[in-house]
Amino acid sequence: MACPAGTAGHRYVQVMSEANGPDRTETATGSLIRRAAHSLLVEHGVGGVTLRAIARKLGITAPALYRYYSSHSALLDHLRRDISTDLAAELSEDIAQLPDDDGLAQFFAVCRGFRRWALAHPREFALVFASPTDDAPPAAPLAGATEPFGRVFISSVGRVLANHELAGVSDDVVPAALRQDVATFQAAMLEMLATQQDTPMAEHRLSLGVAYLMVQYWTRIYGHVTLEVFGNFPMPVSQPDVLFNAMLADLAHEVGLGPV
């Protein structure tokens, strides 16, 4: 069978020559496919990232993509991972500019950096944080926390809990109907933090009440950013930075932490 000529022909040969590699997704062509998918995402949104469009952009046939990704969903999962890795690297740079012993400043830098990134990359945000995935059922504790962004965020939370006493947090605030769910989340958090810190997190610093508070706080931070990214605030906001910072200040004040 004759192969296509020119640049498309080169890509065709490259695809065929890599087809039997041990990890096809990590080959040069696998990376090229994801870059093409990312470009389509930025240009057209999630709906524009089709296998046919990717193949057309690369000058290859759509069936050739299946040599690298078993399905469209598998390709999107790899793309999510790439984007999460880029976000984590950006936030890690923010953290590196702060004192090592200032966990609170690092946590709020992560929060602000997450919002900054989301506003600058709304379509990437929609894919990673507002699209369901096949391998992360909503009921799973800490679903997505093993992604690069999740590890950065959880690590920043761990540094706050390790170095600051939270005031006025009681296990009594957890509704009885949710206690088992929160206990499962608490255990998963303690296990994850144990793998990220030199010394295990003292359980009293991540009590049932603190775990419940963490879920509520992430919901508020994520909800705020989502409303802003998609332009769904209930009123026009002339200075959205002020609104976001006020929300962070409220979170800190509620548990007796210092200024943000």
Q: Please give the model's pTM, rounded to 2 decimal places.
A: 0.85
Which range marks the domain in which residue 23 is found? 6-70
Does 222 map to a domain?
A: yes
Residue 169, amino acid: V
Same domain, 90 and 218: yes
Q: Which pLDDT does position 18 carry in this prediction?
A: 52
Say whether both 107 and 234 belong to one domain: yes
Tell me how many domains the chain contains.
Answer: 2
Same domain, residue pair 104 and 179: yes
What pLDDT, on the 0 to 100 scale, is given for residue 231?
95
Give yes or no: residues 135 and 198 share one domain: yes
Q: Is residue 34 part of a domain?
A: yes
**Which of 8, 19, 57, 22 has its CA nearest to residue 37?**
57
The answer to the question of residue 260 being in a domain is no
Residues 125 and 227 reside in one and the same domain = yes
Q: C-alpha angle 4/5/8, rounded to 5°?
A: 70
Same domain assignment for residues 226 and 181: yes
Q: Of 70, 91, 112, which residue sits at a domain end?
A: 70
**The pLDDT of residue 258:** 74
Q: Are residues 154 and 203 in the same domain?
A: yes
Q: Is 1 part of a structural domain of the chain?
A: no
Kindly state whether residues 111 and 16 are assigned to the same domain.
Answer: no
Rounded distance between C-alpha atoms, residue 161 and residue 5, angstroms: 60
166 and 48 housed in the same domain = no
State whether 119 and 184 are in the same domain.
yes
Q: Which residues contact 125 (CB under 8 A, 6 or more apart)?
A: 117, 118, 225, 229
pLDDT at 14: 47
User: What pLDDT score does 100 carry?
Assistant: 84
Q: Among 19, 46, 70, which residue terminates a domain?
A: 70
43 and 145 belong to one structural domain: no
Choose the final residue of a domain: 45, 70, 95: 70
Question: Is 259 a member of any domain?
Answer: no
Q: For residue 209, what pLDDT is reported?
A: 95
Mean pLDDT by 10 residues, the chain (260 residues): 47 48 67 95 96 95 92 94 95 93 91 97 94 58 73 90 88 96 92 76 88 94 96 95 96 85
